[in-house]
Amino acid sequence: MSTSGLLLLVLDLAGTFVFALNGALTAIRTARLDIVGVVALGMFTAMGGGIIRDVLIGSLPPATFSDWRYLVVAASGALLAFFLGPRLDRIALSINVFDAMGLSLFAVTGSLKALDSGMAPLPAVLLGAITGVGGGTLRDVLLGHVPTVLSSGLYAIPALVGATATVTAHELGAPGPAGALVAACLCFGIRVVGIRYDLDAPTPRGTPPREQG
């Protein structure tokens, strides 16, 4: 496997793991599901973005179903959250941090895989953002919530920034690991700042303020 292929796999599996943690912790905190529901939601959250990405670029069957490591990593993350979640302090913070990590890693891997498939820079940026928000959107829909991507102004924006940074670094010939790391940290930082200070993107005049959740 090439260095770039190994980097993509490692980042993809890392994103799968942290999104599985996020989905499972969300299930524990907001829906009070049993072990089957917790693991299922964790795995759906972990694999949703990658499946959407692979389908859109025509990489079939999706890596999630053709590589056993994705299923094992997703299930492991969800089970870990099920058994350790109730003991975690400040569980809401844990959920948000894992969500920001998954968003960042998938925004990077989505854009990198799009570039590897021959996509132009702009479509690669869009696909990176879609990959980043896909798992969280599926999680929210399954829980009957308004998707975070529609209710939080600093969710899709960090994904777009991270994907743009990834594509820009690639086009400038920056080393793969360095460019991916900087892009992921940039996305993560923007998302965490948005969470910490409850920031949103500009809204139309007269829009009621968002209720605090």
Nearest to residue 112, comparing CAs of 165, 34, 45? 165
C-alpha to C-alpha distance for 21 and 2, rounded to whole angstroms: 29
Query: What is the C-alpha separation between 192 and 157, in angstroms, rounded?
Result: 12
pLDDT top residue among 205 and 77: 77
Q: Residues 10-47: pLDDT tens digits?
A: 999 999 999 999 999 999 888 878 999 999 999 999 99
Torsion sign over Cα 10, 37, 107, 158: negative
- The three-point CA angle 188-149-71 to 5° equals 70
**CA dihedral angle for residue 31, residue 34, residue 37, residue 38, rounded to 10 degrees:** 80
Half-sphere exposure of 67 (CA within 13 A, CB side): 18
Query: What distance in Å separates the CA atoms of residue 96 and residue 196, rounded to the nearest whole number?
Result: 10
Of residues 138 and 87, more confidence is placed in 138
The confidence band for 92, taking pLDDT boundaries of 50, 70 and 90, is: low
Euclidean distance between CA atoms 126 and 140, whole angstroms: 21
- State the pTM of this model: 0.89
Looking at residue 31, what DSSP letter applies?
I
Q: Hey, is 32 helix, strand or coil?
A: coil
What percentage of the chain has pLDDT greater than the value 90? 65
| Strand positions, DSSP E, the chain | none
Picking from 180, 166, 170, the residue whose alpha carbon sits closest to that of residue 7 is: 180
Q: What are the DSSP calls for 154-210, one per residue? A: HHHHHHHHHHHHHHHHHHTT--HHHHHHHHHHHHHHHHHHHHHHT------TTPPPP
What is the spatial distance between Cα 121 and Cα 66, in angstroms, rounded to a whole number?
A: 27
Q: Is the pLDDT of residue 213 over 50?
A: no
Tens-place pLDDT, residues 152-184: 768 999 999 999 999 999 999 887 788 899 999
Is residue 88 within 8 A of residue 26, CB to CB? The reply is: no
Phi, psi of 150 (to 5 degrees): -95, -20
